[in-house]
Protein backbone atom coordinates (compact mmCIF):
# COMPACT_ATOMS: atom_id res chain seq x y z
CA UNK A 1 0.00 0.00 0.00
CA UNK A 2 1.54 3.31 -1.10
CA UNK A 3 1.45 6.44 0.95
CA UNK A 4 0.43 9.69 -0.65
CA UNK A 5 2.34 11.81 1.76
CA UNK A 6 3.55 14.55 -0.60
CA UNK A 7 -0.03 15.35 -1.55
CA UNK A 8 -1.22 15.29 1.99
CA UNK A 9 1.32 17.79 3.15
CA UNK A 10 0.01 20.51 0.84
CA UNK A 11 -3.07 21.74 2.72
CA UNK A 12 -1.12 22.01 5.93
CA UNK A 13 -1.57 25.58 7.16
CA UNK A 14 -0.55 27.42 10.31
CA UNK A 15 -1.94 24.84 12.73
CA UNK A 16 -1.55 21.16 11.98
CA UNK A 17 -4.82 19.36 11.48
CA UNK A 18 -5.52 16.58 13.92
CA UNK A 19 -7.94 13.69 14.42
CA UNK A 20 -8.72 12.97 18.06
CA UNK A 21 -9.59 9.37 18.88
CA UNK A 22 -10.96 8.15 22.22
CA UNK A 23 -9.61 4.78 23.39
CA UNK A 24 -12.40 3.16 25.41
CA UNK A 25 -10.22 0.61 27.23
CA UNK A 26 -7.09 2.70 27.70
CA UNK A 27 -8.61 5.85 29.21
CA UNK A 28 -6.71 7.92 26.70
CA UNK A 29 -7.06 9.98 23.55
CA UNK A 30 -4.71 9.35 20.63
CA UNK A 31 -4.05 12.51 18.63
CA UNK A 32 -3.32 11.78 14.98
CA UNK A 33 -1.51 14.38 12.92
CA UNK A 34 -3.30 14.49 9.55
CA UNK A 35 -0.19 15.65 7.68
CA UNK A 36 2.03 12.79 8.76
CA UNK A 37 -0.73 10.26 9.56
CA UNK A 38 0.95 9.38 12.83
CA UNK A 39 0.07 9.62 16.50
CA UNK A 40 1.77 12.67 17.94
CA UNK A 41 0.25 12.78 21.40
CA UNK A 42 -1.52 10.46 23.83
CA UNK A 43 -3.60 12.27 26.43
CA UNK A 44 -5.05 10.75 29.58
CA UNK A 45 -8.78 11.05 30.21
CA UNK A 46 -11.34 9.85 32.72
CA UNK A 47 -12.56 6.27 32.65
CA UNK A 48 -13.92 4.70 29.47
CA UNK A 49 -13.84 7.68 27.11
CA UNK A 50 -16.30 7.34 24.23
CA UNK A 51 -18.13 10.33 22.70
CA UNK A 52 -15.88 13.26 21.72
CA UNK A 53 -16.70 16.66 20.18
CA UNK A 54 -15.14 20.11 19.95
CA UNK A 55 -16.69 23.49 20.69
CA UNK A 56 -17.29 25.55 17.56
CA UNK A 57 -14.11 27.61 18.00
CA UNK A 58 -12.14 24.45 18.92
CA UNK A 59 -10.97 26.02 22.18
CA UNK A 60 -12.48 23.16 24.18
CA UNK A 61 -12.99 19.48 23.63
CA UNK A 62 -15.83 17.61 25.35
CA UNK A 63 -15.27 13.96 26.25
CA UNK A 64 -17.80 11.45 27.57
CA UNK A 65 -15.91 9.70 30.38
CA UNK A 66 -18.57 7.02 30.74
CA UNK A 67 -17.34 5.15 33.80
CA UNK A 68 -16.37 8.38 35.56
CA UNK A 69 -20.00 9.50 35.08
CA UNK A 70 -18.95 12.87 33.74
CA UNK A 71 -18.32 14.89 30.62
CA UNK A 72 -14.79 16.26 30.76
CA UNK A 73 -13.92 19.62 29.27
CA UNK A 74 -10.33 19.73 28.07
CA UNK A 75 -8.06 22.41 26.71
CA UNK A 76 -6.91 20.82 23.44
CA UNK A 77 -3.68 22.81 23.45
CA UNK A 78 -2.43 21.56 26.78
CA UNK A 79 -4.48 18.41 27.27
CA UNK A 80 -5.42 19.73 30.74
CA UNK A 81 -8.91 19.03 32.08
CA UNK A 82 -10.47 22.46 32.63
CA UNK A 83 -13.49 21.14 34.51
CA UNK A 84 -16.06 18.36 34.56
CA UNK A 85 -19.66 18.84 33.55
CA UNK A 86 -22.53 17.14 35.32
CA UNK A 87 -23.72 14.63 32.80
CA UNK A 88 -25.98 12.11 34.46
CA UNK A 89 -24.70 8.57 34.89
CA UNK A 90 -22.75 6.74 32.23
CA UNK A 91 -22.66 9.30 29.43
CA UNK A 92 -21.92 7.44 26.21
CA UNK A 93 -22.49 9.79 23.33
CA UNK A 94 -23.61 13.38 22.96
CA UNK A 95 -24.28 16.11 20.44
CA UNK A 96 -23.48 19.81 20.74
CA UNK A 97 -26.39 22.05 19.81
CA UNK A 98 -25.76 24.61 17.02
CA UNK A 99 -25.96 27.29 19.77
CA UNK A 100 -22.51 25.97 20.86
CA UNK A 101 -23.79 25.96 24.43
CA UNK A 102 -26.07 23.02 25.12
CA UNK A 103 -24.90 19.42 25.15
CA UNK A 104 -27.49 16.68 24.70
CA UNK A 105 -26.09 13.56 26.36
CA UNK A 106 -27.22 9.93 26.13
CA UNK A 107 -27.00 8.28 29.57
CA UNK A 108 -26.67 4.67 28.59
CA UNK A 109 -27.43 2.99 31.92
CA UNK A 110 -30.28 5.27 32.96
CA UNK A 111 -32.52 5.49 29.89
CA UNK A 112 -32.23 9.27 30.02
CA UNK A 113 -31.13 12.09 27.75
CA UNK A 114 -29.53 14.85 29.81
CA UNK A 115 -29.34 18.45 28.63
CA UNK A 116 -26.37 20.35 30.05
CA UNK A 117 -25.64 24.06 29.80
CA UNK A 118 -21.88 24.19 29.25
CA UNK A 119 -21.69 27.84 30.41
CA UNK A 120 -23.47 27.57 33.74
CA UNK A 121 -22.31 23.93 34.02
CA UNK A 122 -25.71 22.78 35.15
CA UNK A 123 -28.18 20.13 34.09
CA UNK A 124 -31.19 21.95 32.72
CA UNK A 125 -33.33 18.99 31.73
CA UNK A 126 -33.49 15.21 31.82
CA UNK A 127 -35.74 13.44 29.35
CA UNK A 128 -36.90 9.83 29.74
CA UNK A 129 -36.02 7.85 26.65
CA UNK A 130 -35.71 4.13 25.82
CA UNK A 131 -33.29 1.57 27.25
CA UNK A 132 -29.61 2.14 26.44
CA UNK A 133 -29.74 5.44 24.61
CA UNK A 134 -26.74 5.97 22.37
CA UNK A 135 -27.16 7.65 18.99
CA UNK A 136 -27.49 11.44 19.22
CA UNK A 137 -28.19 13.92 16.42
CA UNK A 138 -29.30 17.52 16.14
CA UNK A 139 -31.06 19.08 13.17
CA UNK A 140 -29.17 21.85 11.35
CA UNK A 141 -31.69 24.46 12.56
CA UNK A 142 -31.29 23.23 16.13
CA UNK A 143 -35.02 22.62 16.64
CA UNK A 144 -34.89 18.85 16.90
CA UNK A 145 -32.62 16.48 18.78
CA UNK A 146 -32.72 12.73 18.22
CA UNK A 147 -31.84 10.04 20.74
CA UNK A 148 -31.84 6.42 19.62
CA UNK A 149 -32.18 3.66 22.19
CA UNK A 150 -30.54 0.32 21.59
CA UNK A 151 -32.83 -2.05 23.45
CA UNK A 152 -36.04 -0.12 22.81
CA UNK A 153 -35.27 0.03 19.06
CA UNK A 154 -36.52 3.56 18.60
CA UNK A 155 -35.56 7.03 17.52
CA UNK A 156 -36.96 9.58 19.97
CA UNK A 157 -37.63 13.03 18.48
CA UNK A 158 -37.02 15.73 21.09
CA UNK A 159 -38.22 19.32 20.58
CA UNK A 160 -35.37 21.51 21.84
CA UNK A 161 -37.76 24.35 22.80
CA UNK A 162 -39.97 22.33 25.13
CA UNK A 163 -37.44 19.52 25.72
CA UNK A 164 -40.28 17.04 25.30
CA UNK A 165 -40.43 13.99 23.09
CA UNK A 166 -42.81 14.76 20.25
CA UNK A 167 -42.52 11.48 18.34
CA UNK A 168 -41.08 7.99 18.59
CA UNK A 169 -40.29 5.96 15.51
CA UNK A 170 -39.45 2.27 15.51
CA UNK A 171 -36.32 1.16 13.71
CA UNK A 172 -34.66 -2.22 13.31
CA UNK A 173 -32.89 -3.96 16.17
CA UNK A 174 -30.24 -2.11 18.16
CA UNK A 175 -29.99 1.38 16.72
CA UNK A 176 -26.54 2.88 17.23
CA UNK A 177 -26.12 6.16 15.40
CA UNK A 178 -28.24 8.96 13.93
CA UNK A 179 -27.51 11.89 11.62
CA UNK A 180 -29.61 14.47 9.84
CA UNK A 181 -29.04 14.64 6.09
CA UNK A 182 -30.28 16.51 3.03
CA UNK A 183 -30.03 19.84 4.89
CA UNK A 184 -32.21 18.52 7.64
CA UNK A 185 -34.92 17.01 5.44
CA UNK A 186 -33.87 13.45 6.28
CA UNK A 187 -32.89 11.54 9.40
CA UNK A 188 -30.69 8.47 9.01
CA UNK A 189 -30.55 5.85 11.77
CA UNK A 190 -28.30 2.76 11.74
CA UNK A 191 -29.49 -0.53 13.32
CA UNK A 192 -26.58 -2.74 14.32
CA UNK A 193 -28.37 -6.08 14.80
CA UNK A 194 -31.06 -5.32 12.23
CA UNK A 195 -28.27 -4.75 9.70
CA UNK A 196 -29.95 -1.72 8.12
CA UNK A 197 -29.94 2.06 7.92
CA UNK A 198 -33.40 3.63 7.98
CA UNK A 199 -34.01 6.96 6.28
CA UNK A 200 -36.86 9.06 7.65
CA UNK A 201 -38.53 12.10 6.17
CA UNK A 202 -38.20 14.67 8.96
CA UNK A 203 -41.44 16.41 8.03
CA UNK A 204 -43.74 13.41 8.13
CA UNK A 205 -41.41 11.28 10.30
CA UNK A 206 -42.25 8.41 8.00
CA UNK A 207 -39.63 5.97 6.84
CA UNK A 208 -38.85 6.71 3.20
CA UNK A 209 -36.07 4.20 2.58
CA UNK A 210 -34.23 1.36 4.22
CA UNK A 211 -30.68 0.57 3.20
CA UNK A 212 -29.42 -3.01 3.38
CA UNK A 213 -25.91 -4.34 2.94
CA UNK A 214 -24.35 -7.47 1.46
CA UNK A 215 -20.66 -8.32 1.29
CA UNK A 216 -19.46 -11.36 -0.59
CA UNK A 217 -18.06 -13.95 1.79
CA UNK A 218 -19.38 -12.28 4.93
CA UNK A 219 -22.42 -13.72 6.71
CA UNK A 220 -25.28 -11.17 6.84
CA UNK A 221 -25.38 -11.43 10.65
CA UNK A 222 -21.87 -10.00 10.84
CA UNK A 223 -22.72 -6.95 8.75
CA UNK A 224 -23.65 -4.51 11.49
CA UNK A 225 -24.01 -0.83 10.58
CA UNK A 226 -22.96 1.53 13.37
CA UNK A 227 -21.33 4.94 12.85
CA UNK A 228 -21.66 6.87 9.59
CA UNK A 229 -20.73 10.25 8.09
CA UNK A 230 -21.69 12.27 5.01
CA UNK A 231 -19.47 14.03 2.52
CA UNK A 232 -19.85 17.83 2.41
CA UNK A 233 -22.25 17.80 -0.53
CA UNK A 234 -24.30 15.14 1.29
CA UNK A 235 -24.18 13.05 -1.88
CA UNK A 236 -22.36 10.18 -0.27
CA UNK A 237 -22.48 8.44 3.10
CA UNK A 238 -19.76 6.26 4.58
CA UNK A 239 -21.24 3.62 6.88
CA UNK A 240 -19.11 1.60 9.31
CA UNK A 241 -20.22 -2.05 9.31
CA UNK A 242 -18.76 -3.27 12.63
CA UNK A 243 -17.47 -6.86 12.69
CA UNK A 244 -17.69 -7.25 8.91
CA UNK A 245 -14.56 -5.05 8.92
CA UNK A 246 -15.86 -2.99 6.03
CA UNK A 247 -17.11 0.54 5.41
CA UNK A 248 -19.93 0.89 2.90
CA UNK A 249 -20.08 3.80 0.48
CA UNK A 250 -23.74 4.72 0.02
CA UNK A 251 -25.22 6.98 -2.62
CA UNK A 252 -27.37 9.32 -0.54
CA UNK A 253 -29.71 10.07 -3.45
CA UNK A 254 -30.50 6.56 -4.61
CA UNK A 255 -29.78 4.87 -1.24
CA UNK A 256 -27.76 2.27 -3.05
CA UNK A 257 -24.47 0.89 -1.84
CA UNK A 258 -21.74 1.66 -4.37
CA UNK A 259 -18.74 0.04 -2.76
CA UNK A 260 -17.31 -1.68 0.29
CA UNK A 261 -13.91 -0.73 1.69
CA UNK A 262 -11.93 -3.18 3.82
CA UNK A 263 -10.75 -1.60 7.08
CA UNK A 264 -9.69 -2.84 10.55
CA UNK A 265 -11.63 -5.11 12.88
CA UNK A 266 -15.00 -4.03 14.30
CA UNK A 267 -15.05 -0.62 12.68
CA UNK A 268 -17.10 1.77 14.78
CA UNK A 269 -17.06 5.57 14.27
CA UNK A 270 -15.28 7.88 11.87
CA UNK A 271 -14.23 11.46 11.18
CA UNK A 272 -13.15 13.39 8.09
CA UNK A 273 -10.27 15.82 7.80
CA UNK A 274 -11.34 19.41 7.05
CA UNK A 275 -11.49 19.22 3.26
CA UNK A 276 -13.06 15.77 3.57
CA UNK A 277 -10.46 14.17 1.37
CA UNK A 278 -9.55 11.67 4.07
CA UNK A 279 -11.73 9.57 6.36
CA UNK A 280 -10.45 8.13 9.64
CA UNK A 281 -12.28 5.06 11.00
CA UNK A 282 -11.88 3.68 14.53
CA UNK A 283 -11.42 -0.10 14.55
CA UNK A 284 -12.27 -1.29 18.05
CA UNK A 285 -10.99 -4.85 18.07
CA UNK A 286 -7.78 -4.30 16.11
CA UNK A 287 -7.00 -1.15 18.11
CA UNK A 288 -6.18 0.98 15.10
CA UNK A 289 -7.46 3.65 12.75
CA UNK A 290 -7.82 3.14 9.01
CA UNK A 291 -7.24 6.18 6.80
CA UNK A 292 -9.40 6.09 3.66
CA UNK A 293 -8.75 8.23 0.61
CA UNK A 294 -12.25 9.56 -0.11
CA UNK A 295 -11.73 10.21 -3.84
CA UNK A 296 -10.37 6.80 -4.73
CA UNK A 297 -12.26 5.01 -1.91
CA UNK A 298 -9.14 3.08 -1.03
CA UNK A 299 -7.57 2.52 2.37
CA UNK A 300 -4.26 4.41 2.58
CA UNK A 301 -2.81 3.50 5.92
CA UNK A 302 -3.47 1.86 9.26
CA UNK A 303 -2.44 3.77 12.36
CA UNK A 304 -2.02 1.97 15.68
CA UNK A 305 -3.81 3.78 18.52
CA UNK A 306 -4.89 2.66 22.02
CA UNK A 307 -7.13 -0.22 23.06
CA UNK A 308 -10.67 -0.19 21.66
CA UNK A 309 -10.72 3.14 19.82
CA UNK A 310 -14.34 4.41 19.80
CA UNK A 311 -15.01 8.05 18.92
CA UNK A 312 -13.22 10.33 16.47
CA UNK A 313 -13.32 14.09 15.99
CA UNK A 314 -11.52 16.58 13.77
CA UNK A 315 -9.48 19.46 15.15
CA UNK A 316 -8.66 21.61 12.12
Partner 1 sequence: MRRLVLTAGVLALSAFSAAADVAVRVTYLRHEQIRPPVLSNLDEVPADLGVAGAELAINDSRTTGKFLGHTYDLTLVSVPPEGDLIAAARTALGETRLVVLDMPGAEMLAVADLPEAAGALLFNATQADPALREQDCRANLLHTLPDQDMRADALMQFVAARRWTDLALIEGTHPGDQAWAQALRDSARKFGLKIGAEKTWAFDADMRRNASQEVPLFTQSLGKYDLLLVADELGDFARYIPFNTWLARPVAGSVSLVPVAWNRVMEQWGAVQMQDRFRALAARDMLPEDYASWAAIRALSEAATRTSSADPATLRAYILSDAFELAAFKGRPLSFRPWNGQLRQPIALVSGEAVVAQAPLEGFLHQRNELDTLGRDLPETRCEAFQ
Residues at the contact surface with partner 1, assessed by CB under 8 A: 108-109, 111, 130-132, 149-154, 156, 165, 168, 170, 172-174, 192-195, 219, 221-222, 243
User: Least distance (Å) from partner 1 to the CB of residue 25?
Assistant: 10
User: Least distance (Å) from partner 1 to the CB of residue 285?
Assistant: 9
User: Least distance (Å) from partner 1 to the CB of residue 224?
Assistant: 8
3-state helix/strand/coil string of the chain: CCCCHHHHHCCCCCCCCEEEEEECCCCEEEEEECCCCEEEEEEECCCCEEEEEECCCCCCEEEEEHHHCEEEEECCCCCCEEEEEECCCCEEEEEECCCCCEEEEEECCCCEEEEEECCCCEEEEEEECCCCEEEEEECCCCCEEEEEECCCCEEEEEECCCCEEEEEEECCCCEEEEEEEHHHCEEEEEECCCCEEEEEECCCCCEEEEEECCCCCCCHHHCCCCCEEECCCCCEEEEECECCCEEEEEECCCCCEEEEEECCCCEEEEEECCCCCEEEEEECCCCEEEEEECCCCEEEEEEECCCCEEEEEEEC
User: Least distance (Å) from partner 1 to the CB of residue 145?
Assistant: 16
Closer by beta carbon to partner 1, 192 or else 288: 192
Distance from C-alpha of 138 to C-alpha of 95, rounded to nearest angstrom: 7
Closer by beta carbon to partner 1, 20 or else 308: 308
Closer by beta carbon to partner 1, 17 or else 108: 108
Closer by beta carbon to partner 1, 32 or else 111: 111
User: Least distance (Å) from partner 1 to the CB of residue 238?
Assistant: 23
Closer by beta carbon to partner 1, 18 or else 90: 90
User: Least distance (Å) from partner 1 to the CB of residue 305?
Assistant: 19
User: Least distance (Å) from partner 1 to the CB of residue 160?
Assistant: 19
Closer by beta carbon to partner 1, 17 or else 192: 192
User: Least distance (Å) from partner 1 to the CB of residue 62?
Assistant: 22
Closer by beta carbon to partner 1, 92 or else 179: 92
Closer by beta carbon to partner 1, 40 or else 151: 151
CA 36 to chain centre: 23
Contacts (Cβ under 8 Å, ≥6 apart) of 14? none
Amino acid sequence: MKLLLPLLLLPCAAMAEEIWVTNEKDNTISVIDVATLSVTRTIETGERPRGITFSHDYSRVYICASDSDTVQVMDPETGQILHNLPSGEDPEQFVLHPDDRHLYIANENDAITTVVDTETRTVIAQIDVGIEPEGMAVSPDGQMVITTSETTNMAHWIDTETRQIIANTLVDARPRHAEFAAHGAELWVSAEIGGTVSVFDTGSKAEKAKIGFAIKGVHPDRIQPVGFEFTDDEQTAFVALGPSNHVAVVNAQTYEVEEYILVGRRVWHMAFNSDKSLLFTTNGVSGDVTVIDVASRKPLKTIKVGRFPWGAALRP
